[in-house]
Amino acid sequence: MRPAFEAEGLVKRYGGTTALDGVDLQARPGTVLGVLGPNGAGKTTAIRILATLLRPDAGRAVVDGVDVLRDPVAARRIVGLTGQYATVDEDLTGTENLVLFGRLLDLTGPDARDRAARLLDRFGLADAAGRRASTYSGGMRRRLDLAASLVGAPRVLFLDEPTTGLDPGKREELWRTIRSLADDGTTVLLTTQYLEEADALADEITVIDQGRVIAHDSPAGLKQHVGGQTVVVRPRDPARTADAADVVRRVTGHPVDRSRGGVVTAPVDDGRAFAGIVRELERAGMDVTELALRLPSLDEAFFTLTGHDAGRTTTTQEDS
Amino acid sequence: MTSTSTAATGRSRVAGGPGAPTPRPWPLLRHSLALAGRSLTKTRRNPGVLLDALILPVLFLVLFVYLFGGAVAGSTQEYLQYLFPGILVLTTVLAGQVATGLHIVVDMKKGVFDRFRSMPVPRTSILLGSVLADAIRYVVAVVVLFGVGYALGFRVETGFGSALAATGLAIGFGFSLSWLTVLVAVLLRDETLVSTVGFLLPFPLVFGTSMAAPAGTMPDWLRAWAEVNPVSHVIEACRGLLLGGPVAGPVAASLAWSAGFLLVFGTLAVVAFRRRV
């Protein structure tokens, strides 16, 4: 099947710094591609190129069969964009914003008003429709923003860190909305620094770091790819964390991670080690509140892939 | 939480292909008007931006008439007649300078600008919309000025048609010159710089003329500037249209300069804008 969007070998330089160094991205129609990376990885640059806001120094980008560089005007009829910062006019009401965008997308006046009303209703903003966007809460503004990018019924939707600054409840609400859009057939590209978010939403994840793609896989495949399972032990008595660490180290034969207070984690090579740990803890008479075997989190996956923590880069350059 | 059919927002078919609108003719005009409507709404919500353009010319009118009127023209009343046409031009030039560039710079830095740019909207519409909406500022400023002028005792000595022509000529000139501040805004992209330039630029242009005193009384260097200064023609034309006297020459010169500014600064601003965004 033809990809809903595709970028090949995107390169973008700003003076001496290279924001993108040959990035490939693509997604099948109706799926969510998560682009995961720390600040400054080049996520926003890639999304701005796909949304026709920026020209790359090299590479090719196509949305729904339309070349973004050769025919940006046609591409703009296909895509919707929600940037990192609110892309609505705060001096206008919710309705005025959506009607304006409808007019700019060549809807007639009545159609624009009708679509605005339906979108505001869908996003739970009907009651606030007549209020200025500046009076909206962070979550409402995000929803209005998302509604604004849907006025043109785009086939491809670009969301640049859509949940930044939202509290967890609001974030999950927005996740459900994004999921329902993909179910309706919209292809979504979503950038995020939240590993949890990519895991929850994306059908496939592209990990980029310092302008390069360092992995592309399904969330499960990615986790599988970056290593075996991890055992997690949390003693009931935090004072005995060191004892627990000794047990885990002895049984697994691997160094243990105690960076989270009161919790011991270590890689395990096979399931038998887990049983061994259970026996040894029993023998030591240690009561635990958490004992689990799990796949590595995307955080850990990122650490394995890049050699540094997500959210902390070796460069101080801002993502622009 | 990955189960999706229970999405709180429901499943009404708003997104996804079939509802996508089709292009309609005259995009530049329609989009410019839609964006002008947006700017007007913003002005209505923040009427403070009109104040700069209203207060300053009125302040100058009152100050000049009562401070210098007696000394320059022998009586404040005679001086008011002499000064008013110049203040009219000052009003329209200021109305075109104070906020136009500032709004564009502020817009360019806001997220909503990215949304406009990611939509199938001609780039020029974004500039045109903003500049068209300024029309309200010219009209309000001119109406207030005439109101104050009449209250102080100014009288049009020709007729209503001529006064209307003078106003139109002044507004046209202010509008054409406002493209210079648009160009400055697009190039500098800095609120403070742009508002400083927009505020200072009118002074050498409008004051370096026969606005407040006949050019013959000025030192040579200033008279030389006043004679080549295009604003002199506009003030002369307005004086003729409001008070009587020869108008053909100055009106033609004013129109020529207005057209020239519009063509040169307008083109440069649009080119710079399209290149920048």
Distances in Å between the Cα of B129 and the Cα atoms of A101, A104, B195, B228 are 14, 12, 19, 33
Which CATH architecture is the domain A5-224 placed in?
3-Layer(aba) Sandwich (3.40)
CB-CB: which of A84, A104, A173 is closest to B119? A104
Classify domain A229-294 at the CATH superfamily level.
Elongation Factor G (Translational Gtpase), domain 3 (3.30.70.870)
Q: Which residues contact B7 (CB under 8 A, 6 or more apart)?
A: A176, A177, A179, A180
Whether B27 and A106 lie within 8 Å, measured CB to CB: yes
pLDDT above 70 coverage of chain B, percent: 91
Q: Do A91 and B22 touch (CB under 8 A)?
A: no
**pLDDT of chain A along its 320 residues, tens only?**
789 999 999 999 998 889 999 999 999 999 999 999 888 889 999 999 999 989 999 999 999 999 999 999 899 999 999 887 778 999 999 999 999 999 999 898 999 999 999 999 988 899 999 999 999 988 888 889 999 999 999 999 999 998 887 888 888 888 998 999 999 899 999 999 887 788 889 999 999 988 999 889 998 887 766 666 788 899 998 888 888 888 888 888 888 888 777 888 887 877 788 888 999 888 988 888 888 887 766 666 777 777 665 544 444 344 44
- Which pLDDT value is given to residue A67? 95
- Does the distance separating the beta carbons of A150 and B119 come in below 8 Å? no
Asked if B48 is an interface residue toward chain A (Cβ–Cβ < 8 A), one would say no
Going from the C-alpha of B60 to that of each of A67, B92, B116, the distances in angstroms are 57, 14, 40
List the one residue out of B64, B128, B129 whose CA is nearest residue B90.
B64
- For residue B147 the two structure tokens come to 């109101």
The mean of the pLDDT values for chain B is 86
Of A293, A228, A292, A288, nearest in space to A262 by CA: A288
The whole-angstrom separation of Cα A225 and Cα B168 is 73
The helix or strand, by DSSP H or E, that contains position A26, with its residue range, turns out to be strand A17-27
CA distance B20 to chain A (A): 5
pLDDT for B98-138, tens place per residue?
788 888 888 888 878 888 888 988 888 988 898 888 888 89
Stronger pLDDT, B137 or B166, i.e. the higher one: B166
Q: What is the domain partition of chain B in residue ranges?
A: 27-40+47-276
B189 in contact with A, Cβ within 8 Å: no
Å between A222 CA and nearest CA of chain B = 18
Shortest alpha-carbon distance between residue A139 and chain B (Å): 14
Closest alpha carbon within chain B to A50 = B118
Domain boundaries, chain A: 5-224, 229-294
Coarse DSSP helix, strand, coil percentages of chain B, rounded to the nearest 5 percent: 75, 0, 25
Q: With an 8 Å Cβ cutoff, are A176 and B117 in contact? A: no
Task: Kindly state the DSSP code that residue A240 receives in the 8-state scheme.
Answer: G
Q: Do A320 and A44 contact (CB within 8 A), yes or no?
A: yes
Residue of B nearest to A148 (CA): B115
Q: According to the model, what pLDDT value does residue A292 have?
A: 86
Give the CA dihedral B215, B216, B222, B223, nearest 10 degrees.
80
Distance from the Cα of residue A40 to its chain's centroid = 14
pLDDT at site A257: 81
Which residues, at least 6 apart from A56, have a Cβ–Cβ distance to it below 8 Å? A10, A11, A12, A20, A49, A69
Nearest by CB to B114, which of A74, A83, A92?
A83
Instruction: Inspect the interface and report whether the beta carbons of A106 and B23 lie closer than 8 Å.
Output: yes
Provide the chain B residues 236-255 that lie in CB contact (below 8 A) with chain A: none
Whether B5 contacts chain A with CB within 8 A: yes
Which of B4, B29, B33, B119 to mutate to test binding with chain A, by most A CBs within 10 Å of its CB? B119
Asked if B1 reaches chain A (Cβ–Cβ under 8 Å), the answer is: yes
- Cβ B20–A77 below 8 Å, yes or no? yes
Residue pair B42/A133 in contact by the 8 Å Cβ criterion: no
Tokens of B149: 């002028």
What mean pLDDT is predicted for residues B36-43?
A: 90
Residue of B nearest to A124 (CA): B9
- CB-based contact A89 B116, cutoff 8 Å: no
Do residues B54 and B94 touch, judged by C-beta distance below 8 A? no
pTM of this structure: 0.78
Q: Say what the pLDDT of residue B107 is.
A: 86
In this predicted structure, what is the pLDDT of residue B162? Answer: 95
pLDDT of residue A308: 63
With an 8 Å Cβ cutoff, are A73 and B34 in contact? Answer: no
